[in-house]
Structures are given as C-alpha cells and as structure tokens.
Amino acid sequence: MTEPAPVFAKGVDHERLTEQLRFILETDKLKRVLRRNMLVDGSRRENSAEHSWQLALAARTFAEYAPPGTEIDHVVEMLILHDIVEIDAGDTFVYDTHESASQPERERAAADRLYALLPSDQKARARAIWEEFEARETREARFAHAVDRLAPMLANWHTEGGAWVRHKVTRAQVLEKVRVISDGSEALGAYAAALVEDADRRGYFARSASPAG
C-alpha cells in the first residue's frame, strides 16, 4: 500500500519523524513472530510482541523484587526493545542447542538493520540498551533477564507442561534458567525453583533431553 503524502506540523523535523514512523511500522512485524509457548489459556501460541508487552508490565509489577537501586524505567525500556531483533532473527527456542548456536550472529545482524532505521541518536541509545541486555552485567539487565525467563515458565506450568512436554525438556534444563532468574532476583528465583519442583511432581519433564534440546 502506498503511504499517504506526509503532512507535518510547523517546526517538526520532517526527516526525523519519517525515520521514526518507518521504525514503528517495521516493528509491527513482531506481532507475526510466534513463540513456542502457548497463551496461559492454551488457545494459541503467543507472539513476540505480546511477550514484550507482558515483560514490561511484569517488570513494573515485580519492581519490589529487583535488587536495591535498580532503575525500573530502564528495565522496562530494555524489555520493550530487546526482542525487536526477532523480526529478522525469529524466536529462538531456549532449549534448542542447534538454534541457539547461531542465535548471536542472527540477532546481531538483525540489530544492525532494525535499530539503524531510527534517527542516529535514538539508534545509538536503542543499540546500547540491546547490548546491555545481552551482556547481563548491570542490575537492570539481570533483572530484565529474570523477568524474561520467568514468563514462559509460568505459561508452561499453566498449560500442563506446554512446550516442556512437547519438546521433551528436562528438569535440569529448566533449572539452568532458574539460575538466571535467581541472579536477577532472589525472590523470583525462589518462586521459579518451587514452580519447577511442582512441575516435576506433575510429570511435566522428560527423563532425558531430546536431540534438539
């Protein structure tokens, strides 16, 4: 569809606004990227845009469980931005070792293209925030990762094992992700560990990992 002829308010930087609009329109594609886990009601698979929205909401809701001094607004911004690379790179199933091996290269190439759509100052900020999330060295990045890992665990538990069952994920594999959660939030990590123990009692985990896992 041909874009309408732009009408700009007086004093607006036409080129800057056009770049911002193109970036926002491009991010609409994130709604088409399907993740492995189902919605909590089991009706369909979640998409990455929904995932990002829920993570931002969860970070705000769970702010009291973040390490002291954590800037929650920064965490929220990080969670909104970090999955945009999946427009090009796709969602990588965290328990698939084959897919995970190429994930950094795919996502870095996606970051190069997608954040470059923004005006230069916003591009630099978005890229720096994405790099911060990937490095997981700041309080904010570790808490963002904790929320990011907890969300699919909740979805899988509420769908009777969900992707864990379908992909023959083991208890040990999930406990590796619990360590990431604990690193970002002691309280959320303790809850996640209890969730895994309950899932194990319910028989949601495979006894050995699948070849893809």
Instruction: Quick: pLDDT tens for 75-127.
Output: 999 999 999 999 999 999 999 999 999 999 999 999 999 999 999 999 999 99
Q: Is the pLDDT of residue 4 over 70?
A: no
- Tell me the C-alpha distance between 176 and 202, whole Å: 19
Torsion sign (Cα): 57, 193, 102, 128: positive
Which two tokens mark 207? 């006894």
Per-residue pLDDT reduced to its tens digit, 172-187: 999 999 999 999 999 9
Q: Where are the domains of the chain?
A: 15-201
Which two tokens mark 142? 């570790």
pLDDT the model gives residue 102: 95
- Tell me the C-alpha distance between 164 and 80, whole Å: 25
The mean predicted confidence, pLDDT, of the chain is 95
Per-residue pLDDT averaged across 53-72, rounded? 98
The reported pTM is 0.92
Per-residue pLDDT averaged across 54-63, rounded? 98
- Write down the H helix ranges in 83-170: 86-89, 97-114, 120-135, 139-158, 162-166
The class level of CATH for 15-201 reads mainly alpha
pLDDT the model gives residue 9: 80
pLDDT band with cut points at 50, 70 and 90 for residue 8: confident
CB atoms within 10 A of CB 31: 12
